[in-house]
Amino acid sequence: MSTPLIGVSKSMLKIKELINHVANTCLNVLITGETGVGKEVVAQNLFAESSRSHKNFVTINCAALPETLLESELYGYEKGAFTGAHKKRYGKFLTADKGVLFLDEIGDMPLALQSKMLHVLQSGEFSPLGSDQEFKTDAWIIAATNQNLEKSIQNKTFREDLFYRLNIIKIEIPPLRERPEDIPALIEYYFRLYRSEYPNSQGSKPDAETIKRLCAYSWPGNVRELQNCMKKQMVLDSWEKIFEELPAERNSAPPAPLQVDPPGDTPALFSSDHNPERLSIISEFVDLSTSSEKLFEDISLKKIKKLASDKVEKEVITFVLDKVGWNRSKAAKILKVSYKTLLYKMSEFGVHPPVK
Amino acid sequence: MADPKRLLIVDDNEDILSTFYEFFNSLGYEVKTANDGFAALKVLREKPGFFDCLITDLVMPNISGVGLIAIVKKEYPNLKIIAMTGYGDQPGALASEAEADMVLFKPIDLFKIEEKVSALLGQK
């Protein structure tokens, strides 16, 4: 049974509507979003709403397997195709025929396999390793990644032609911190789910104040992190303990703009430097808590320049967009960049309109 | 024109949309616009058979132009489709594969597009 897509935010409602409109087209889908936002859940919902729901939903994680293994998992092999191939094995493409093949972490697929994948997507045909027979496949391809594939294309780690072939329909799932209104619904859902899974648990439901705190937290691990907290609560039954265990600097509601490491945590290298303002500026771009050796490796003026200008650019872009009611054409004119540049920068910096 | 032809124009660039709107409107076409593939699909499904021609950009969020063309060709085979792209060959090739009636590369002269639309719709 697939997990329902939980959420009441505008962005989640739009994703649900989009799924509803495209599930029966079986066009290639690319799902993007940070780790833990629920990319597989969206894929399962597409599958569940499609006419293929009575067939197989086959998942393969392109980052988890070494190249050769990934290839044989995808395409299968004939007996004797390589040392250790004692018997014939069907690949995921065949298992997913008439169903869905979910390619998770597609951004991590090695280039050689990307070109093979492209060929299969173009022709609908493939041959298992060690076989000269061509098989037809009618698998609906849904791919997912937490990477910015446009960037990977620039870095030559992802094929542009494969990107466009996968990106026929794109579903972008925003991180949980951008849609805090979904948090109460998620809490409610997972509380009930884990209650039924652990019927003897004493874990109490969060009260209004706790829910408020949970909504204010930034959830860097997204829904998966929230799930883990709910599971922990079933065992610990103490929201206080759970809050204590959340990464401290993100726990307090408004993050301090400049963070100064307490003197005790500052490495010896910097303990003699008593200029807190300087340290706080540097600490925004360099991790000062590492050893001095590692630190010197990390400090590069070029890198810091990029980080610093990115940070300022992001703020300026958000500021201007906000002023013009998120009209991107107007903002581009004000910022004196092309519309395309603005869109690129917005996606690079993860600038999204506020969810109402 | 006694019977104005109906166009749906799809692009995620508001400037292009408004330019196209003004231009085709001034030539007597009845024009509707949508700013991405999903919005366009909803408009088309709301009024099946209403439009004569779809002019769409290819690289857009949610449903891409290629996706829109593939869906529309299946659901409304009589609708004429012109694809426009500014992103090199890849999306254009995919649009042809999805059976767009015509693929044009940006920047495009508006009068040229009107000629193509007119020819596709069998006017003049």
Predicted confidence (pLDDT) per residue in A156-176, tens digit:
999 999 999 999 999 999 999
Tokens of A316: 């300026």
Q: Output the pLDDT for position A98.
A: 96
pLDDT of A211 strictly over 50: yes
Q: Tell me, yes or no, if A167 comes closer than 8 A to chain B by beta carbon.
A: yes
| A167: chain B residues, CB-CB within 8 Å | 64
pLDDT of B103 strictly over 90: yes
Per-residue pLDDT tens over the stretch A57-85? 999 999 999 999 999 999 999 888 888 88
pLDDT of A255 strictly over 60: no
CB contact under 8 A, B14 and A328: yes
pLDDT category at B53 given cuts 50, 70, 90 is very high
Query: What is the C-alpha end-to-end distance of chain A, expressed in Å?
Result: 31
Q: Output the pLDDT for position A254.
A: 46
Mean pLDDT along residues B100-114: 91
Residue A54 CB burial class (10 angstroms; 0-12, 13-18, ≥19): exposed
| A172: chain B residues, CB-CB within 8 Å | 61-62
Mean pLDDT along residues A16-32: 96
As a whole number of angstroms, the distance between CA A96 and CA A228 comes to 31
Q: Output the pLDDT for position A191.
A: 93
**Total residues belonging to chain B:** 124
User: Distance (Å) from the C-alpha of residue B95 to the closest C-alpha of chain A?
Assistant: 10
What is the helix (H) or strand (E) element at residue A187, kind and residue range? Answer: helix A183-197
Q: Output the pLDDT for position A261.
A: 40
3-class SS letters over A75-136: HEECCCCCCCCCCCEECHHHHCCCCEEEEECHHHCCHHHHHHHHHHHHHCEECCECCCCCEE
Chosen from A14, A15, A17, A21 to mutate, greatest number of chain B CBs within 10 A = A21
Q: Is B112 helix (H, G, I), strand (E, B) or coil?
A: helix
Stronger pLDDT, A295 or A352, i.e. the higher one: A352
What is the helix (H) or strand (E) element at residue B80, kind and residue range? Answer: strand B80-85
Kindly give the interhelix angle for B14-26 and B110-120, rounded to the nearest 10 degrees: 60
pLDDT category at A182 given cuts 50, 70, 90 is very high
| A12: chain B residues, CB-CB within 8 Å | none
Q: Tell me, yes or no, if A170 comes closer than 8 A to chain B by beta carbon.
A: yes
Assign 3-state DSSP to chain B and report helix, strand, coil percentages, each to 5. Answer: 45, 20, 35
As a whole number of angstroms, the distance between CA A265 and CA B92 comes to 56
**A150 residue type, one letter:** E
pLDDT category at B80 given cuts 50, 70, 90 is very high
pTM assigned to the model = 0.75
Stronger pLDDT, A302 or A156, i.e. the higher one: A156
- Complex prediction ipTM: 0.91
Stronger pLDDT, A278 or A218, i.e. the higher one: A218
With beta carbons less than 8 A apart as the criterion, state whether A170 and B64 touch: yes
pLDDT of A253 strictly over 70: no
pLDDT category at A265 given cuts 50, 70, 90 is very low
Mean pLDDT highest for which of A92-101, A328-337, A344-353? Answer: A92-101
pLDDT of A310 strictly over 70: yes
Choose the closest CB to A168 out of B13, B14, B66: B66
Chosen from A14, A32, A164 to mutate, greatest number of chain B CBs within 10 A = A164
As a whole number of angstroms, the distance between CA A195 and CA A205 comes to 10
pLDDT of B124 strictly over 60: no
Q: Output the pLDDT for position B3.
A: 80
Average pLDDT score over chain A = 86
As a whole number of angstroms, the distance between CA A75 and CA A58 comes to 13
